[in-house]
Amino acid sequence: MEKTTKATKITKTNKSTKKVDKNNRKNSANPKPQTLPKPAKSTKPTKPAKEIIHATLGVTAVKLDQFPVNDRLEVAFVGKSNVGKSSMINTMLGRKSLVRTSQTPGKTRTINFFEVEQAWYFVDLPGYGYAKVSKSESQKWAGMVESYLKNRPQLLTLVLLLDIRHEPTANDKMLYEWCKHYNLPVILVATKSDKLKRSQIDKYIAVIRKSLAATEKILPFSSLNRAGREELWEILEGLRF
Ligand SMILES: Nc1nc2c(ncn2[C@@H]2O[C@H](COP(=O)(O)OP(=O)(O)O)[C@@H](O)[C@H]2O)c(=O)[nH]1
Ligand SMILES: [Mg+2]
């Protein structure tokens, strides 16, 4: 008896789902060819998406002597406040909210070390450039970030995040030049690529490249649709081996 009741319920649910499906199908019956997103250069992964089994917040630090002591390789993520840093780390790790997003800008004044598998630390450096932050606060930021960058021989690369829609800020440029000066590998990633049409992406990337006088590739990335995720993993794995 119970089975029948359940079956009826399920059928009911299916019915209503079907209705929606039908409507959707109707809408998509005549797709406009120009809306089909077919890029010249496909960003589709050729391999299955990278899966991360172990990812956890390891250490939260505000100064050098609190940084973890071990030989894991580190990848540090840096960029202005709100650029999409926390979202990117979550996307890379395949987690929804391991790193909290949209915290009050300028409030994150810690360096967070996320353990990734047995191999890595993903390091979330504090964001910069929030207007309401005082001068002494931004000096504190600079001091902390500099102390991190100068004292981590295990730092494999910096990932510098730039909003694809905006010209790099003075701080972005300063960080980029800093990497060049100290010969620290840097990966330039242009975030929120979903905000642009595919046809616009190259144009905006060119603006960023010119503004930084950058020589390396700038990778479009979206935490919304995961564009760039597999490519970034490939670059990181390539640096590691
Ligand atoms: N459309 C879009 N929004 C994003 C993307 N990444 C982050 N955001 C949004 O941008 C805001 C700031 O993101 P967050 O990851 O907290 O930035 P953070 O301050 O750099 O750590 C949040 O509202 C996010 O939902 C993205 O790839 N696409
Ligand atoms: Mg953040």
CA pair distance 57, 9, nearest whole angstrom:
43
**Ligand 1 nearest-atom number relative to CA 222:** 27
**CA separation for the pair 73, 240 (Å, rounded):** 8
The residues, ordered by sequence, that sit 6+ positions from 184 with a Cβ below 8 Å of its Cβ are 149, 155, 157, 158, 178
* Ligand 1 neighbours by CB, cut-off 6 Å: 79, 81-87, 101-102, 127, 191-192, 194-195, 222-224
Rounded distance, CA 86 to CA 84, Å? 6
Instruction: Name the residues around ion ligand 2, CB cutoff 5 A.
Output: 85-86
- What pLDDT, in 10s, does the model give residues 26-60? 455 555 556 666 666 666 656 789 999 999 999 99
* pLDDT at res. 25: 46
Q: Rounded to an integer, what distance in angstroms lies between the CA atom of residue 104 and that of residue 56?
A: 22
Q: How far apart are CA 162 and CA 168, in angstroms?
A: 7
User: Token match 């009741």: residue?
Assistant: 5
pTM of the model: 0.80
Q: Which parts of the chain register pLDDT below 70?
A: 1-46, 102-108, 130-133
Centre of ligand 1 from the C-alpha of residue 87, in Å: 6
Contacts (Cβ under 8 Å, ≥6 apart) of 182: 149, 150
For the chain, list the domains and their CATH numbers: 62-240 (3.40.50.300)
Closest CA to 160 of 177, 175, 150, 178: 175
What's the gap in Å between 70 CA and the centre of ligand 2? 25
